[in-house]
Structure formats: C-alpha cells, structure tokens
C-alpha cells in the first residue's frame, strides 16, 4: 500500500510517495495549472483516525480510536471513530481498478495504475485519455527518460560519446560535454505525473484529486478534467474541473447525440440453403438473431426469425454503426424446423457502417447419419408381458465424447414382436451408449438398472 513507510513521520511533516517531507506546500495536483497545492488536514476533512489522502499526493495519519469498543470507520463513515467493528472494503468491492481510495475503515487502498494511453478517471477505473503521446524525435531528445505527455514514459537512449553526459551541455535530455544539473517539477511547471529531470532520470510530480486526472484537460503533467460530451452553445469547457460555464442560463439547448442507424436485412441459411419448417404459415418465432456490439452494450439488439408463407427465414432491423458478434439462438419452436437446438455464432465481426441488404448468415450443422438396430439381453431378444402396448420399456442414451450439443436419446419399445428396435439420426463423433430402464421395465426381463452397452461407438 502506498505510504506504509511513512507511519512514523514527525509532526508537521507529510507522507508523500513513501517518504516524510516538510509540511510546506507541494506541487500535488488539485489545481488545473501551475503553482502550489495546499494539503488538507485531518481536522478540515473531519477525520479522527486512520490514514487519508491530503489532496496533494501524500498521506496523513489521523490517529487511533481511544474509546474502548470503538474502531475506525465502524459507523459507516470512513476514518471516523464509532462503536463496533469495521469491515474494510477492497478495490474489487468498490469497483475500482486504479488510483487511491479509502477502504472505508482506516487505510487507503492502492488500486493500481493504468497501462498504455489510459488514465485513471474520477470513478477509479481506467479510461482512454484524450492525450496524444509525443516521441523522442519530435522533442529533439536523444538520451535518458522523458514524459510522453500523457502520463507515460519514453526511453531516448544513452550517450555513447566519451566525455558526454545526458544534459551536459545545458539542454535537457540531449547529450553534451560537461555535468548536468537536474530540473525540478516546479521549474518546469509540472504538478502531476512523472517527468524527466533532464539528466537521464524520471521524477514524480504528484497526483491529482478526482474528477481531475493528470493531463486530463490536454495539458501534459497538469491536473485537469475534460468536459464529457460537448458544451451547450455559448458555454466554455473549464479545464480545471471539466465543467461547462460562462453561457446564458435562460436559453440553454441541451443536445442529445444519437448515432444514425442503418437498416440491415437478409436471411439465415442452414448449410447454405433455406431452413425447412413443419408449419411455415404459422409465423412462429423459430429463433432469434442476437447482435452484440463490440464496444457499446447500449447498441445490443435481437430480432426474431419467423417463417411466414415461405421457407426463407428473413430478418430486417436497424443497427447502430460498429462491429457486432452475431449469434443464432433457438426458441421452443425450433423443433418444428431443421435448425439446430443449440446456439450458433454466425459472425464474429459483422461491421455496420451503411445500410445493407441480402445479408446471409449461415448456420453450419454437421450432416447426420441414421443409426438403427435393436437391443438384446444376453444375446437374445428381451421378452415382454405386453409387447403390443408400445410402452417405452427403456431408452438408449447417446452421450457425445466432445460436444454435449449432440447428446440424444431414443425410446425402446416393443410393438407386436419381442425384438426391441431403435432408429435415430446422430451427428459424427464418438458416443458412450447407455441403456436406461423406465417405470415399465418390470413388464420385461430387462434389468432395473442402467447398463453401459458401448463405451465408445464411433459414428462417421
């Protein structure tokens, strides 16, 4: 946890980045631009125990609970003594993946950092920064570490010429003769994130307090917050807190931006041809096509697949722009068709950027093989007390070795003969075949228990 090494800081000092420093101002990150940060005290924040954020990138120790039976945060208010015990929260339970936050009791949690070009937002989750990273070449640098301008770091190499040092000529992060004098955060006006000291090393300039993020308003190493969406006409985005301000309040027009939808229509096929249906004039929903957007769940939608007067299963629906994963899902009416009883992904990346027609999503189904025969008991046909009844004396269960979608069963009946026959279509593969008795098995000389008749029957 950040700040654990600072628990013994002397009075008047602050814990900042794992070190005790003087209690003066620091370039923390509460402001939107340069200048100093005024640390907040335990008293001004109304806290009486545990460790808290001082608002400038450091930690404050607010003491321990002295009254017997009290603990820090027990009353539901973080860092305030109350009767009872407090159960600390975790980053996961708080839904946070980055930044620092109170555990609800007495300590601060370090929920990690964001990678790449992402920054830690005010909600404690990583989000894409609006900042564009720079390069060593663009900055004219050829040695040491520099900031990429978006809270990241770039390595610009080392000085290879004898006698040269990084920044030795007086130009930071440029090789030259002589010694290099490191820069400070204050000298370059940085209030957050990490920067190069000009001599090949990186230094930390503090952190920001939500809703601000480092570089969030577009200025590298400066705390700020972007305005979400666009400001109304006449209003200006304030980089300090991300608020729209300065416009007339008596005639505001709030615009709701909605992407343009595109109509997509077509049909589904089964192995390249139209599915068949036992009752195509009914208009039953034999299945659905589910469109799941790759980046925005608000745009997820589904459409029914019906067969009305023709064996072509058509669909038509409006879709927002983007890439979708498309799945054909069966309904309870699917048994009236030759569509499979399982879900099938018909497209992993269906892109919508304009209206489309005659789209064909194919449901691939393996070719079934008809398997027929009979069961015997010790090599001869089973006997039955009432063979003309057609009772289901048992079932044969076929369990596929690798794909549970292909599992099936068939009834064993005796109709007018003592030979118990069966016939069913099976998908290719290897099956474990089990004979299972039913409540009518007592009318036969078959056993009352299950029997594995074939451990591995290959169908191909």
Q: How many CA atoms lie within 13 A of 136 on its CB side?
A: 18
DSSP state, 333? T
Q: CA–CA separation, 27 vs 204, rounded Å?
A: 10
Residue extent(s) of CATH 2.60.40.1120 domains in the chain:
262-363
Please give the CATH topology (third level) of the domain spanning 262-363: Immunoglobulin-like (2.60.40)
Q: CA–CA separation, 33 vs 193, rounded Å?
A: 13
Please give the CATH topology (third level) of the domain spanning 369-459: Immunoglobulin-like (2.60.40)
Q: Is the pTM of this model over 0.75?
A: no
CB 322 within 8 A of CB 352: yes
In 3D space, the residue among 153, 155, 96, 154 whose CA is nearest the CA of residue 127 turns out to be 96
Helix (H) or strand (E) holding 84: none
Helix (H) or strand (E) holding 137: helix 136-139
- CA-only gyration radius of the chain, Å: 36
CB 45 within 8 A of CB 52: yes
Q: CA–CA separation, 85 vs 72, rounded Å?
A: 8
What pLDDT does 33 receive?
37
Residues 6 or more apart whose CB falls under 8 angstroms from that of 24 comprise none
Tokens of 232: 């109304």
φ/ψ region of 92 (left if φ > 0, alpha if ψ in -120 to 50, else beta) reads alpha
Q: CA–CA separation, 212 vs 410, rounded Å?
A: 66
Q: CA–CA separation, 204 vs 194, rounded Å?
A: 4
Q: How far is CA 107 from the centre of its chain?
A: 28
Give the pairing type, strands 243-245 and 236-238: antiparallel
Grouped pLDDT means (10 residues each) for the chain, 460 residues: 38 43 38 48 81 67 78 82 82 81 76 73 72 85 79 79 80 81 86 79 81 74 76 80 84 87 93 84 83 93 81 87 94 87 93 94 92 92 77 91 93 75 93 93 90 94
Q: How far is CA 60 from the centre of its chain?
A: 34
Q: CA–CA separation, 450 vs 460, rounded Å?
A: 26
CB 343 within 8 A of CB 325: no
In 3D space, the residue among 86, 112, 115, 85 whose CA is nearest the CA of residue 99 turns out to be 112
């Amino acid at each position: 946890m950040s700040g654990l090494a600072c628990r013994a800081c002397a009075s008047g000092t602050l814990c900042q980045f794992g070190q005790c420093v003087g209690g003066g101002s620091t370039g923390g990150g509460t402001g939107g631009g340069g200048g100093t940060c005024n640390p907040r005290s335990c008293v001004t924040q109304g806290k009486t125990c545990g460790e808290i954020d001082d608002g400038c990138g450091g930690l404050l120790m607010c003491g321990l609970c002295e009254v017997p039976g009290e603990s820090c945060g027990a009353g539901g208010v973080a860092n305030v003594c109350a009767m009872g015990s407090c159960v600390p929260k975790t980053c996961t339970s708080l839904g946070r993946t980055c930044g620092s936050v109170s555990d609800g009791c007495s300590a601060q949690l370090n929920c990690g950092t964001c990678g790449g070009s992402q920054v830690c937002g005010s909600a404690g989750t990583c989000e894409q920064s609006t900042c564009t990273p720079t390069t060593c070449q663009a900055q004219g640098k050829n040695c040491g570490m520099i900031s990429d301008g978006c809270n990241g770091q770039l390595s610009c190499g080392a000085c290879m010429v004898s006698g040269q040092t990084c920044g030795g000529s007086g130009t930071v992060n440029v090789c030259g003769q002589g010694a290099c004098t490191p820069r400070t955060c204050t000298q370059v006006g940085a209030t957050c994130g990490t920067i190069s000291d000009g001599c090949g090393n990186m230094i930390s300039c503090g952190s920001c307090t939500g809703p601000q993020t480092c570089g969030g308003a577009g200025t590298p190493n400066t705390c700020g917050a972007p305005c979400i969406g666009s400001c109304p006409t006449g209003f200006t985005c304030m980089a300090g807190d991300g608020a729209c301000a300065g416009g007339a309040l008596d005639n505001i027009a709030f615009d709701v931006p909605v992407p343009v939808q595109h109509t997509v229509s077509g049909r589904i096929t089964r192995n390249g041809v139209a599915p068949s249906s036992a009752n195509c004039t009914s208009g039953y929903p034999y299945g659905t096509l589910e469109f799941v957007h790759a980046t925005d769940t608000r745009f997820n939608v589904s459409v029914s697949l019906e067969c009305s007067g023709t064996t072509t299963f058509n669909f038509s629906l409006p879709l927002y722009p983007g890439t979708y994963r498309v799945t054909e899902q069966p309904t309870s009416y699917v048994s009236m068709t030759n569509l499979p009883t399982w879900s099938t992904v018909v497209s992993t990346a269906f892109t919508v950027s304009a209206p489309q027609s005659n789209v064909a999503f194919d449901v691939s189904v393996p070719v079934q093989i008809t398997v027929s025969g009979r069961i015997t008991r010790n090599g001869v046909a089973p006997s039955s007390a009432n063979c003309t009844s057609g009772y289901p004396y048992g079932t044969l269960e076929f369990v596929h070795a690798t794909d549970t979608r292909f599992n099936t069963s068939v009834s064993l009946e005796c109709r007018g003969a003592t030979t118990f026959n069966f016939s069913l279509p099976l998908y290719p593969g290897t099956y474990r075949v089990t004979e299972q008795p039913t409540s009518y098995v007592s009318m036969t000389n078959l056993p009352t228990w299950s029997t594995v008749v074939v451990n591995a029957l290959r169908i191909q």
